[in-house]
Amino acid sequence: MSTHADTHTDKEAYYIPEPSRWPIIAVFGIFMLFFGLVLSINKMGLAGSLIMVTGFAVIAHLMHGWFGSVIDENLTGKYNGQVSRSFRQGMFWFITSEAAFFVTFFGCLYYLRNITLPYLGGDGQLGTSNILWEGFQYNWPLLNLPDADGTKYVAAKEAMGPWGLPFLNTIILLSSGVTLTWAHWGLKKNNNKQLVRGLIMTITLGTIFFFVQGYEYWHAHHAMDLTLNAGVYGSTFYMLTGFHGLHVTIGTIMLIVIAVRSARHHFTEHNHFAFEAVAWYWHFVDVVWIALFIFVYWL
């Protein structure tokens, strides 16, 4: 049984950092990023792009400074086992909160496909479709829009199929999960060369995924007229795939940081939570993409 003195000593051993400026900088950078994004989406001129780029720069500075502080604290031995458990709990709840975002977005897609549009097509009260959208018949993806003359909204010419670029990106992203696991095996065997090589391969695959999706967006916008203004199909398509793409970008940046640290031999087989946290995040991104491929591209 622990005594009061033991408990007191354990509390003193738990490292508590000094007050930090990084959280308020994070709020400022995230606000600018999304405020600029909203302005850009609504075509508010060059200001939106400038504000968004500034937000990216602030977040890059934040990640460099905050990550650097945490790394220095770890390397100087300020963290004990209890701090490590706190980090694990924090990462678990962070990924849980991200999962809640995606569950909400998938719920929106489900509501549109299985409740709203069938109701509008006549499954609800008689006459609903004639009042709100005369002659509407339920179909998905929804390519016909109520703006018949196309003055405000332009419908997509076709839906984005699963077996072209989306399938290629599925192979790329799942392969990145394999290379990351291979890197983890190297870490557990104290094989730093395998660890670094596995991380470099994972970063390369993540970067390729990013550019393939960028080309997919360009093709969808210019060849298929699949834009944010292409009705609920266009908005849900970009909402889900774009939010996932943001997570791939963040995960790739995290992997780059971990690769640099691995090259400097910061990790051992018993002390490598930073690697584990990023691996959890990356595998979460993999799982979400599988759901996207099935419910957004395929079904």
The reply to whether 14 and 49 lie within a common domain is yes
The reply to whether 194 and 251 lie within a common domain is yes
The reply to whether 193 and 256 lie within a common domain is yes
**Domain interval for residue 275:** 88-114+148-298
The reply to whether 75 and 92 lie within a common domain is no
The reply to whether 29 and 110 lie within a common domain is no
The CB density around residue 227, as the number of other CB atoms within 10 Å, is 19
Angle at 36 between CA 28 and CA 210, to 5 degrees: 100
Question: Which of 79, 99, 127 is the endpoint of a domain?
Answer: 79
- Does 221 reside within a domain? yes
- Does 142 reside within a domain? no
From first to last of the 299 residues of the chain, give the pLDDT tens digit. Answer: 344 444 444 455 777 778 888 899 999 999 999 899 888 888 787 888 899 999 989 988 988 888 888 888 877 877 777 777 888 899 999 999 999 999 999 999 999 999 888 888 777 666 666 777 777 778 888 888 776 565 667 778 888 999 999 999 999 999 999 999 999 999 999 999 999 999 999 999 999 999 999 999 999 999 998 988 888 999 999 999 999 999 999 999 999 999 999 999 888 887 788 899 999 999 999 999 999 999 999 98
Three-state secondary structure call for residue 129: helix
pLDDT of 92 reads 93
The reply to whether 47 and 157 lie within a common domain is no
State the total domains in the chain.
2
Could you give the CA distance from residue 107 to residue 29 in angstroms, rounded to a whole number?
29
Tell me the one-letter amino acid at 244: H
> Nearest-CA neighbor of 262 among 194, 177, 163?
194
The reply to whether 264 and 290 lie within a common domain is yes
The reply to whether 161 and 287 lie within a common domain is yes
Question: Which of 55, 79, 103 is the endpoint of a domain?
Answer: 79
Buried b or exposed e, range 151-178, using 16+ CB within 10 angstroms: eeebbbeebbeeeebbeebbebbebbbe
> Nearest-CA neighbor of 282 among 209, 214, 217?
209
- Does 124 reside within a domain? no
The CB density around residue 217, as the number of other CB atoms within 10 Å, is 19
Question: Which of 29, 52, 79 is the endpoint of a domain?
Answer: 79
